[in-house]
Amino acid sequence: MRDPTGFLATEYRSLVDSATDWKLRVLSGPSAPWCTVDGKKVLMFCSNNYLGLSNHPRLKEAALEAIRTHGVGSGSVRPIAGNMDLHVELERRLAAFKRAEASLVYQSGFATNAGLIPQLVGEGDLIVSDELNHGSIIDGTRLSRADRTVYRHTDVADLERVLSAAEERTPAPRRILVITDGVFSMDGDIAPLDRIADAAGRHGAMVYVDDAHGEGVLGPGGRGIVAHFGLSRDQVHVEMGTFSKAFGVVGGHVSGSRALIDFAYNKSRTWLLSGSHPPPVAAACLAAVDLLETEGKHVERLWELTHRFKKEMRALGFDLGASETPITPVMVGDSHRAKALSDRLFDLGLFALPIVYPMVAKEKARLRTIMNAALTDDDVTFAVSAFAKAGRELRLI
């Protein structure tokens, strides 16, 4: 009798042969600048922990205190019996930080996009998406019944073309939703959100930005891409983000008008049907928001180290793509060579993972490095030296 699951091993083997499989390494202990991965002490150079907050004393103490006062779980989904005062306070403080009328916290960033996008648009509507948007946006789009189209990456002229063509349809779309990443996670470039918002406004379209990699990085005090461009809530209608990157914890969220938030928590099934954040998680997220409000030094340090690393890597001859942010891809091209570079760096004590197809195009494999404000100047010197040695050995520079 034929094994109906035989394709699983066959397809996995094809991933291994093409060097597009994931080998999971194990982190023992906290996500810190120097940490233990697969039993080896290495410099962490690929986490999303931009500001080094995931092991910050204030966040850890907040989590411990919440366990003492609220326990380790909420016991329910928020609409029924899992809506704790910590969740409500977190949303109030987050909205104040984002300069929005209201905010809503989801269980993850992926759940935010997958749960909200299909509710904002449906049959008879149109989603217009940047061609390099995150997979969670793509999946959220597919879950909707809306028509969908893409525009060339960060190309506002092409966006205008798509929007003009949509207006000429018969019948015209009932609603149009323009969606873009704020900072593109694989290339580190920034969406021209000011010009995107202008174009969308001329065509009466809603604007949705996924700012997962912009929070804590862009804008005054790390408030994100909407603040970075000085845009209003009338120009950007949905600002989505996560707590799992610069905030150092976990969870997703949206900020915008009171009407948006009331709509979202009544309509998003990923929010309605998932257990709410455990008290220590909510408390740690709240501490992270407070810390960003009061300690701007973390964001300043992040950019200081980012500029230095990019300058020294380019001087060595590495191709860093179109990066404008602490996400700095080291372009390699071939997936086998990207994995070889990662393995050699690990031998030298630097942990930087390769990004290969299907996360990026087959000919655009790279190592995605991410700067961390908790690194020292000596740490950056060590990282650049390791790249120099491995790059020369592999004839990449």
- Which are the catalytic amino acids? 185, 213, 245
DSSP 200-225: HHHTT-EEEEE-TTTTTTSSGGG--H
Pull the structure tokens for residue 365.
């494999």
Q: CB–CB of 386/345 below 8 Å?
A: yes
| DSSP SS3 for 1 | coil
Residue 205 near residue 235, CB atoms below 8 Å: no
Instruction: Please state the separation of Cα 376 from the chain's center in Å.
Output: 24
Residue with tokens 């031998």: 347
Task: Residue 109: count other Cβ atoms within 10 Å of its Cβ.
Answer: 23
| Integer CA distances (angstroms), 136 to 11, 111, 143, 251, 260, in order | 23, 8, 11, 14, 20
Residue 143 contacts residue 116 (beta carbons within 8 Å): no
Give the CA-trace dihedral at 381, 387, 389, 393, to 10 degrees: 180
User: Helix 297-316 vs helix 279-294: angle between axes, to the nearest 10 degrees?
Assistant: 80
Provide the 10 A C-beta neighbour count for residue 378: 8
Q: If you compute the radius of gyration of the chain from its CA atoms, what whole number of angstroms results?
A: 22
Residues 6+ positions from 99 with CB-CB distance below 8 Å: 223, 227
- Cα torsion angle, 15, 20, 23, 27, sign: negative
Bridge partners for 253 per DSSP: 105, 241
Residue 232: name the closest of 260, 195, 194, 262 by CA: 194
Instruction: Measure the CA–CA gap between 151 and 92, rounded to whole angstroms.
Output: 35
